[in-house]
Amino acid sequence: MAKTANEELYDALVRHQIYVLRYSGYVRNRMTTIMNASEDELARRIRDKLRNTQGLSTPVEWQRLQSLQAGLDALRRESWDEATKFLIEEMVELSYQEPIRLNAMMQAVLPVAVETVMPSARMLRAIALSRPFEGRILKEWADTMAADDIRRIHSAIQAGMVAGEDSATIARRVVGTGTLKGADGVTEITRRQIQTITRTAVQHIANGARDTWFDENSDILEAEQFVATLDSRTTPICRALDGKTYPVGKGPRPPLHFNCRSLRIAAIDGTLAGDRPAKPTTEKLLVKEYAEKNGLGDVRSRDQLPRGTKGDYDKWARGRIRQLVGPVPATQTYQTWLKGQSNAFQNEVLGDTKAKLFRDGGLTLDKFVDRNGTELTLKQLAQKEADAFRAAGLNPADY
């Protein structure tokens, strides 16, 4: 049976969201590469400047620290300038391209030609450069990452000198070791911060550009649906909103938090249908299944697997995920999807007590958050939903 225009559009937008997430990975990797390029020089300067330093107690040692920090500031800021320039150029281009792609999707699925309106370049550029996300605009987030990075480098060097460490050890404090690919240095925090900010920025700008196109073409659209990702990492607020429909341009708009992967999907006639991807498993559940299958005992993470089994586990897990991951109807919300998953998966996602309230107490996912989207504690839930606790065989007074 042929799919309707709405089904085709829904499928296309969900597929496109996967490409957007992959694109954020490209932006992150490129920025990380730019920043990593300065780390060998950072380490060399630390080793050379502090070669004969024994601590941080004399005026000479303080002067040496200040001189070193000034040089490292200049070196690191040069890298940040390049990384920021790249980020801003990419995000502006993303804001221009996203409505073009959306327009192409719409024209491809509609059975008749429809006149659509494209947002102005000025409006789209403002989404990338002037519209804040998580309280700051893009340039401010880049400046914050740079300032935090340099402050951490300063603090690590000073702490090493106070502790009387040699220059090689202090350099490792900053950039880490080759064995762990820098994961044991303070610059690893910068890499993680870049990942969080770039993913959130890409989502913010892509969703903002799509929202603007929806607004410009609201005469041919009747509704928007909030679509969260069906896996264990989805946050309580996005789980609660998944599947809810709103008038075009109204209601909560992703990203709702750092690393948000949700999106809004428009419907031509108010009916939303199609397929969406789902991943009903976690690493913990995969490891447990693999350990039971191979008689390895109580193993809770990949790191706990016996020596020599990790490679076999990785190969098995890839195949197992392919078996488990698949499309589900777009009409199936996170609520109905989670209801159909195993108790173990529900426990993993919600926590044991909240999962029991979900299964046996009759609580829907929107009951686990307040009106601002903040997850309620068990104590708060017990005060608000005492009957649900009793229905689940739990005493609200215990919480």
Question: pLDDT at position 268, please?
Answer: 63
Q: Where are the beta strands (DSSP E) in the chain?
A: 223-227, 245-246, 263-267, 275-278, 326-329
- Whether the CB-CB separation of 98 and 206 falls below 8 Å is answered with yes
Q: What is d(CA 140, CA 149) in angstroms, rounded to the nearest whole number?
A: 14
Q: How confident is the model at residue 171 (pLDDT cuts 50, 70, 90)?
A: very high
**Percent of residues, the chain, with pLDDT higher than 90:** 47
What would the mean pLDDT of 16-26 be, rounded to a whole number? Answer: 89
> Which has the minimum average pLDDT: 34-43, 273-282, 332-341?
273-282
Provide the 10 A C-beta neighbour count for residue 122.
7
Residue predicted with more confidence, 32 or 253: 32
Q: What is d(CA 189, CA 191) in angstroms, rounded to the nearest whole number?
A: 5
What would the mean pLDDT of 31-44 be, rounded to a whole number? Answer: 96
pLDDT at residue 165 greater than cutoff 50: yes
Question: pLDDT at position 327, please?
Answer: 53
Residue predicted with more confidence, 236 or 109: 236
Question: pLDDT at position 273, please?
Answer: 45
pLDDT at residue 274 greater than cutoff 50: no
Instruction: Pick the most confident of 73-77, 221-225, 273-277, 327-331.
Output: 73-77
Please state the pTM of the whole predicted model: 0.71
Contacts (Cβ under 8 Å, ≥6 apart) of 237: 256, 257, 369, 373, 374, 375
Question: pLDDT at position 331, please?
Answer: 64
Provide the 10 A C-beta neighbour count for residue 236.
18
Of 114, 103, 115, 119, nearest in space to 13 by CA: 103
Residue predicted with more confidence, 157 or 266: 157
Residue predicted with more confidence, 145 or 58: 145
